Amino acid sequence: MSSTPTIAESYFVDGKRLEALRIGARNRNLPTIVMLHEGLGSVAHWRDFPLHLAEETGAGVFVYSRYGHGHSDPFKEPRSPSYMHREAQIVLPEILRKASIERPVLLGHSDGAAIAILYAGMFPDSAAGLVLEAPHVFVEEVSVSSIARVRTLYEHTDLPQRLRRYHANADSVFWCWNDIWLDPRFRAWNIESFLDSIHCPVLVLQGAQDPYGTLAQVEAILARIPSASAVVLEDCKHAPHRDRREATLSAIRQFLGTVSTAQQSRCPEIPR
């Protein structure tokens, strides 16, 4: 892998300090890819995937740890069922503005994919494209059952020690995520209506063996965004970028070509 400029950054957003990482672009004609991690994710939890993504595509990559995660400021209060809505409406626009990133491609994984959908639905002209890994737009029983099993694993295995590799406050990250997903109020969580306002190109990447969601999530997205495309990956669970890295990178690289074409047709050069 050739050397790519990588800069550790931090931003004060919504009253909290958030850690971030920026990887420079080789092709400045491409939109920046902004990566939104899963419910137990962080900058470090992506491991070396952001570097491989930048190298494979030539695009600049921007990653940040949400409030409470990684080495961002720790949680000081429990979550509400609308925590992803707040992230999309308040935090993401502010950090993009402070990082001087306009019309990014949002690459969201699991909770991050939901945040990407909410942002693009709330601000239809603000994203150049969406890459949605293992997205959820409503709560399925399989999701709740799997998250309940993870709770048992956290209490009886070395999962806490493993999470501490990626978070300064691993216990807080785990319980904030686990408690809200198992909260009876969260069963009504549904963001399908936001899909109707999304007009940018959309790529869905779904593992065929994902224990946290079924193809019903993919079908719901394709039904309301007819121009969206999906890749269902065999031998793949909840994290296509880990379980099927090469296939995931190839699909994203091809998708960026679609995004660039859409941008050129939508934004012709203005004569001066």
How do residues 78-114 score in pLDDT, each as one tens digit? 899 999 999 999 999 999 999 999 999 999 999 999 9
89 part of a folded domain: yes
Give the residue-averaged pLDDT of 119-125.
Answer: 97
Question: What Cα–Cα distance (Å) separates residue 212 from each residue in 5, 86, 100, 138?
Answer: 35, 23, 34, 12
Give tens-digit pLDDT for 168-202. 999 999 999 999 999 999 999 999 999 999 999 99
Q: How confident is the model at residue 266 (pLDDT cuts 50, 70, 90)?
A: low
201 part of a folded domain: yes
Which pLDDT belongs to residue 227? Answer: 87
Domain count, the chain: 1
119 part of a folded domain: yes
CA pair distance 241, 49, nearest whole angstrom: 7
118 part of a folded domain: yes
Inter-residue contact 180 to 186 (CB < 8 Å): yes
Q: How confident is the model at residue 267 (pLDDT cuts 50, 70, 90)?
A: very low
271 part of a folded domain: no
Q: What percentage of the chain exceeds 90 in pLDDT?
A: 92
Residue 271 has pLDDT above 60, yes or no: no
What is the domain extent for residue 38? Answer: 6-266
Residue 56 has pLDDT above 60, yes or no: yes
49 part of a folded domain: yes
Q: Which of 129, 64, 118 is nearest to 95 (CA)?
A: 64
Which pLDDT belongs to residue 269? Answer: 37
CATH number at residue 93: 3.40.50.1820
Residue 198: exposure state from Cβ atoms within 10 A (0-12, 13-18, ≥19): buried
1 part of a folded domain: no
